[in-house]
């Protein structure tokens, strides 16, 4: 999706079956923000409703961030734009986006990806949402307590 315009809000699609991804979700919610971030489970009914043109299977394989004007970032770029939205990490994000910093961002993503593959549950992510009339069980929304 090619879109332009000022970024005023981000939606982060995260893998709800990945303990690392859920931990990072809680960490993001606890950070001082420079712009609002909404966190939505990847491939969920809500993600499909909000972004019907996205490849939702791909959002389960790789972190995806969507901007308010339809901008889409994946992988290393998604990681950097998440940091860019945080008050205490924007300077670091600016550096990670440079040719000198990008290898460090890629290395962080590679490490997180390897760890994620080692601990991710083997369930069928998104299966409940794909069944007509299915109701999701109780979940954690953006109002859940952040672990300390």
Lowest average pLDDT, out of 21-25, 112-116, 123-127, goes to 123-127
8 Å CB contact between 83 and 108: no
In a domain, 70, yes or no: yes
pLDDT tens, residue by residue, 7-34: 999 999 999 999 989 999 999 999 999 9
In a domain, 1, yes or no: no
Number of domains in the chain: 1
Q: What is the CA radius of gyration of the chain?
A: 15
Exposed, middle or buried, 15 (CB in 10 Å: 0-12/13-18/19+)? buried
Give the sheet arrangement for strand 37-41, strand by strand: 37-41, 10-14, 64-67, 72-74
**Backbone torsions φ then ψ of 39, nearest 5 degrees:** -110, 125
What is the pTM (predicted TM-score) of this model? 0.77
Partners of 37 in beta bridges: 10
Domain of 19 in residue numbering reads as 10-120
Task: Output 126 or 104, whichever has higher pLDDT.
Answer: 104
In a domain, 26, yes or no: yes
In a domain, 109, yes or no: yes
In a domain, 19, yes or no: yes
pLDDT tens, residue by residue, 130-143: 333 333 434 444 44
């Amino acid at each position: 999706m090619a879109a332009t315009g000022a970024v005023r809000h981000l939606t982060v699609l995260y893998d709800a079956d990945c303990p690392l991804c859920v931990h990072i979700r809680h960490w993001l919610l606890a950070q001082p923000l420079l712009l609002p971030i909404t966190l939505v489970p990847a491939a969920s009914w809500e993600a499909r409703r909000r972004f019907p043109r996205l490849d939702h299977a791909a959002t389960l394989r790789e972190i995806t961030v969507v901007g308010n004007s339809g901008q889409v970032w994946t992988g290393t770029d998604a990681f950097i734009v998440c940091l860019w939205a945080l008050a205490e990490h924007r300077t670091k994000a600016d550096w990670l986006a440079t040719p000198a910093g990008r290898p460090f961002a890629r290395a962080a993503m590679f490490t997180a990806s390897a760890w994620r593959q080692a601990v991710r549950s083997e369930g069928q992510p998104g299966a409940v949402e794909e069944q007509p009339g299915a109701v999701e069980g109780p979940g954690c929304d953006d109002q859940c307590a952040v672990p300390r």
